Homo-oligomer: A and B are copies of this chain.
Amino acid sequence: MKFGVVIFPSKNLQDFANSYRKRYDPHYDLIPPHLTLLNAFDATEEDAREFAERLQQISRNANPFTLKTAKISSFHPVNNAIYLKVEPVEELLKLHAEIKKEFSEHRSDYAFVPHITIGQKLSNDEHSDVYGALRMTKINHEEAIDRFHLLYQLENGSWTVYETFRLGKE
């Protein structure tokens, strides 16, 4: 089965992202809007407990931080995903680096670009239209992030939370 590690932003930011995801993201029904800290990787259900312990340890030594978004960006031409760009503040980069190091056997080849996807798997024409309309939009938003989550995927592709980790907490 697949596991992943994500941050869920506030309800307001999730509602905002969903207003686009509803039309432009085929994963809309499978997972709430999120910032991915560790991409999906395969492991067994029995591994969940140990993963949680490792993430708990990381979380204790991490700090809450301010999530800031300023604009909408795109991964085109690598892929046709459109996202809310999240400022790579030091605490977030450190949290990601610690998780990446601890789960190095499951590492991804992508560089870490903190983001919240609002559209993906778009055709080139759709991508041009949507990104063209959104690229100049200013999204000046800040919010406090004090937790992240370990998730696993069900057979239907949807994700369930296994455990929550509070940043800087025992």
Total count of chain A residues near the partner, CB < 8 A: 26
Q: A45 contacts which chain B residues (CB < 8 A)?
A: 10-11
Q: Within A22-77, which residues are at the interface with B (CB < 8 Å)? A: 22, 29, 32, 45
Q: Is B1 a contact partner of A154 (Cβ separation < 8 A)?
A: no
Number of copies: 2
The answer for the CA separation of A15 and B1 in the assembled complex, in Å, is 12
Q: A156 contacts which chain B residues (CB < 8 A)?
A: 15, 18, 22
With contact pairs A29-B29, A163-B164, A164-B161 given, residues A152 and B11 touching in the complex (Cβ less than 8 Å): yes
Q: A22 contacts which chain B residues (CB < 8 A)?
A: 156
Q: A152 contacts which chain B residues (CB < 8 A)?
A: 11
The answer for the CA separation of A15 and B159 in the assembled complex, in Å, is 11
The answer for the CA separation of A57 and B158 in the assembled complex, in Å, is 30
CB of A160 within 8 Å of the partner chain: yes
Q: Within A115-170, which residues are at the interface with B (CB < 8 Å)? A: 147, 149, 152, 154-156, 158-164, 166, 170
Please give the distance in Å from A146's CB to the nearest CB on chain B. 9
The answer for the CA separation of A1 and B10 in the assembled complex, in Å, is 12
The answer for the CA separation of A45 and B11 in the assembled complex, in Å, is 8
In the A-B complex, the 3 residue pairs with the smallest Cβ-Cβ separation, listed nearest first, are A161-B161, A164-B164, A29-B29
